[in-house]
Structure 1
Amino acid sequence: MQSTISTDQPPDFPPLHPQLIQELRAAVADLQDADPWAGLVRFISLGGLTLGMTILTWKTDHISLFILGAIATSLVYAFWLICNHDATHRRLTGWEWFDILMPRLISWPMLWPVGTYNQLHRLHHGWNGIDLRDPERVQWTTVEYLAAPAWQRWYIRHQWPIDILIFGGIGLIVRTFSQGIKQQNNAPHLRQQMLIDVVGIIGTQAAIFGIVALQMLSVWQYLLFWIVLERGIGIIVQTRDHLEHYGLWQQTTSYQITQLYACRNLTTPQWVNWLMGGLPYHSVHHAFPKIAYRRLPEAFQRIQAVLFRHQLPPLPTSLGYIATSLHLSGQTSLILASLTPHAIASLDTTNLNASNLDATN
C-alpha cells in the first residue's frame, strides 16, 4: 500500500507585533531554573529499575523468560537514556559534572555516542525549520525526493516503519556518527567528542566482555540480550525522533516563533511526560531550552495564552505517541524546496514522471 505524498503547509501568520517576543520571554522567565532533585529522582528511579530488571533477567534459566525480561528491560532503559536529552541542556540536574559524566556511563554500553549527539543537538536547535543541514532532520525535501533513484523513493514513502522497526538503534548510531563526520567544520568540539565516544565505547565493551568471562557467562547470551535491548530502545527513540518535527518544517521572521511552530506537541498523561522528560511539549522546549522538564506543561499554557492574545494559531498539537505515529506513518510529507537550475538538470525525468508528488503548494 503506497502512502500519500504531500508537502508541508505552514500556517498563515498575521504580522508579528514587535512586543510579541518580549511577552513570550516574560511569560516563562520564572520557569527557567534547573530542578536538580526532580531530575536526580527521575534518573535514579529509571536507572535502578533498569539495573534491577537486568539482574532479574540474567537470573532466569529459561530462554523464553530471558527474552521477555530483556524486552521489558529495553523499554525502561530507553526512558533512562532519554534523560540524556535533559543532560545535554544541563537541565537534568544542573550539576555540570553529573550531566556530563552520567550520560556517558549509561550510553556507551549500547554503543550510543552521546558526546557526539550533544554537539549535533546544539546545531539542531539552531537550524530546525531554518537550515536544511539540520543534523536531526529526518524529513526529505521535494528536491531530494525527485532526484532520488527508484529504490530510495520507495524507502522515503515507507520511511517510518523502516526507520523504526528495521534500522532501530543501530540506525541511530550510524546516523549520529555519519552526521558527526559531516558536520565537523560546524561544531568545534565534534572531533574531540567523537574520539572520546569511540574510546569510551571500546573501553566499556571490553569491560563488559571481561565481566562476562570472569563470571563464566555465555557470550552468545550477552549478545542476544544486547540485540533485544537495541531493538526495544531503537523503536522508542526512533519514534520520538520522527514525531518531534515531521511535517512541520517552516521558517518565520522570528527564530523563537519558528521553533514554536516547527515542533510537534503531544497530548499525553502526566506519567508519559515524566518518562519522556517533558518532550511532549517540544515547541516550548525548542523556543526556551532552559526550562526544566517539570515546568514545560505550565510554560506551554502560558505561551498559548500569549499567542491567543496576538491572534496567532495554537501550537501544533496531536493526540498521543501511538495514535500520531500510526497517522503520520501512512503519509509521506516532504519539505517544499526550490528547484535550482543545477538540481533540475540533474533530475532523472523518469523519476519525475513516475512520481505522484503533489508539490503545487
Structure 2
Amino acid sequence: MDHKSFVASLTAAEKARLTTLSDAKGLWHLAGHLGLILGLGGLIAAGVPGWPLLLLPQGIALIFLFTLEHECTHRTPFATPALNDWVGRACGFLLLLPFEWFRYFHLAHHRWTNIPDRDPELEGTKPMTRREWVWHVSGLPYWAAMAKITVNLARGRGAAPYMPAPALPRIRAEARGMILGYGLVAASLALSPLLFWVWLLPVLLGQPVLRLYLLAEHGDCPTVANMLENTRTTFTTALVRFLAWNMPYHTEHHVYPNVPFHRLPDLHQALKAHLKVTAPGYLAFNRAYLMRRKP
C-alpha cells in the first residue's frame, strides 16, 4: 500500500473527522507552549538562582515554535485562516524564518518529498560525513542561510520556481519588515540586554536540538514518491510531542497534510500497521545515522 491508497481507503466520515480544525484546541496548545516560554523567560529575567541553566530549556521551547510555524503553512493549527497566518509570521520573526517564503518552500517540499532536484529541502542540507553532521547540528549553517535568504528577499532577489509571482510582493514586504524589526531589537539592546538573555542567546543554544530532530524526518529515507517510505515517524516522549505539535508523527503528516496536529495521534492509530520507516527515538536515530557515515 502507498499513501494514496491509504487515503483513498478512508471513508468520507473518517476524513471529515480527521480534518476538522479547531481554534480552541490550537489556542489551548499555544497557551501551553507560550506559557512555558514566558515562565522560563520570567525566571531568567528575574535572575533566580541557577538561571543560566534555564537558557537551554528556554531555547528548546523557543526553537520548537518552528513546528508551529510549519503547521501554520498548512493552515491547520487553527480553524481561522488569519490566525494561522499571523501566528506563523510571529514565529517566523522569532526564528529568522520568513513565513510567507517558507509557506511556498514547504509546500514544494510536500509536493516533491525526498525527490532529488525537486525537493528544495535536499539542496545541500543533509550531512554526508560525521564532520558535516557536527557542522550541520551546530545550527550555524542555518542562521547564515536564513540571513542571506531574508536579505535577498528584502532586496527583491532570490525568487525560486516554487514562489508564485503574485506572492512575491508579500514575501518581499515581510522580509523588509523583519529586517526593520531586527534593527529595532538591536537598538533595544543598547538600553537593556533582556532580549539577548530571554530570546537571542537561547535560540542559538536550542537550534542544535532542532537540527537533530529535523534530521530524523527524512534523513536516509528512500528517494521515492511513496510517503510511507520517504518519511520517518519517530517514537518519543509526550513532552517532545507536545513541543513539536505532534510532528514526530511525521509520516502521518505527509500522508495526509490536511490533518491538524491534534488529530495526528488518531491518524497514527489508523496508519501504524502500514508504516515502513520508523525510529525508536531521536538519539537512537542520530546514533544510527552517524554509524552510517564516514569521518
TM-score by length of 2: 0.82
1:156 and 2:128 aligned: yes
The whole-number CA distance in structure 1 between the counterparts of 2:142 and 2:51 is 20
Tell me what 1:23 maps to.
Answer: 9
CA change 1:304–1:230 in 2 (3 A) is closer
The whole-number CA distance in structure 1 between the counterparts of 2:13 and 2:283 is 31
1:120 and 2:95 aligned: no
Residues 27-106 of structure 1 aligned to structure 2 (within 5 Å)? 28-29=14-15, 30-60=17-47, 65=50, 67-106=52-91
Q: CA deviation at 1:60?
A: 1.9
The whole-number CA distance in structure 1 between the counterparts of 2:116 and 2:163 is 15
Q: CA deviation at 1:243?
A: 1.0
Tell me what 1:317 maps to.
Answer: 278
The whole-number CA distance in structure 2 between the counterparts of 1:73 and 1:285 is 26
Contact 2:139 2:211 in 1 (8 A): no
Tell me what 2:182 maps to.
Answer: 205
The whole-number CA distance in structure 1 between the counterparts of 2:124 and 2:280 is 21
Q: CA deviation at 1:167?
A: 2.2
Tell me what 2:237 maps to.
Answer: 269
Q: Tell me the SS of whatever aligns to 1:122.
A: helix
The whole-number CA distance in structure 1 between the counterparts of 2:29 and 2:12 is 28
The whole-number CA distance in structure 2 between the counterparts of 1:27 and 1:179 is 46
1:187 and 2:163 aligned: yes
Q: CA deviation at 1:24?
A: 4.9
CA change 1:206–1:227 in 2 (3 A) is closer
Q: CA deviation at 1:190?
A: 5.7
The whole-number CA distance in structure 2 between the counterparts of 1:304 and 1:117 is 29
The whole-number CA distance in structure 1 between the counterparts of 2:279 and 2:195 is 39
Q: CA RMSD in A?
A: 3.2
Contact 2:23 2:78 in 1 (8 A): yes
Q: Tell me the SS of whatever aligns to 2:64.
A: helix
Unmatched segments (≥5 aa) in structure 1: 1-12, 142-154, 253-257, 308-313, 333-355, 357-361
Contact 2:116 2:223 in 1 (8 A): no
1:130 and 2:115 aligned: yes
Tell me what 1:235 maps to.
Answer: 208
Aligned AA (1:302) = A
Aligned AA (1:217) = S
Contact 2:104 2:162 in 1 (8 A): no
The whole-number CA distance in structure 1 between the counterparts of 2:208 and 2:186 is 26
What per-residue deviation string (whole Å, max 9, x for no partner) do you get for residues 157-214 of structure 1?
Answer: 123222112526515625865997665233215633541332222232233345445x
Unmatched segments (≥5 aa) in structure 2: none
1:165 and 2:151 aligned: no
CA change 1:69–1:271 in 2 (3 A) is closer
TM-score by length of 1: 0.68
Q: Quote the sequence identity (%).
A: 20
The whole-number CA distance in structure 2 between the counterparts of 1:272 and 1:223 is 25
The whole-number CA distance in structure 2 between the counterparts of 1:19 and 1:47 is 38
CA change 1:210–1:132 in 2 (3 A) is same
User: How many corresponding residue pairs?
Assistant: 287
Contact 1:138 1:246 in 2 (8 A): no
Aligned AA (1:48) = G
Q: Tell me the SS of whatever aligns to 2:279.
A: strand
Q: CA deviation at 1:100?
A: 0.6
The whole-number CA distance in structure 1 between the counterparts of 2:269 and 2:112 is 25
CA change 1:331–1:191 in 2 (3 A) is farther
Q: Report 1 or 2 for greater relative contact order, CA contacts < 8 Å, sequence distance ≥ 6.
A: 1
Q: CA deviation at 1:74?
A: 0.8
CA change 1:239–1:182 in 2 (3 A) is farther
Aligned AA (1:52) = G
Q: CA deviation at 1:323?
A: 1.7
Q: Which has the larger radius of gyration?
A: 1
Residues 270-285 of structure 1 aligned to structure 2 (within 5 Å)? 270-285=238-253
Quick one: which of 96, 111, 128 aligns to 2:96? Answer: 111
1:217 and 2:185 aligned: no
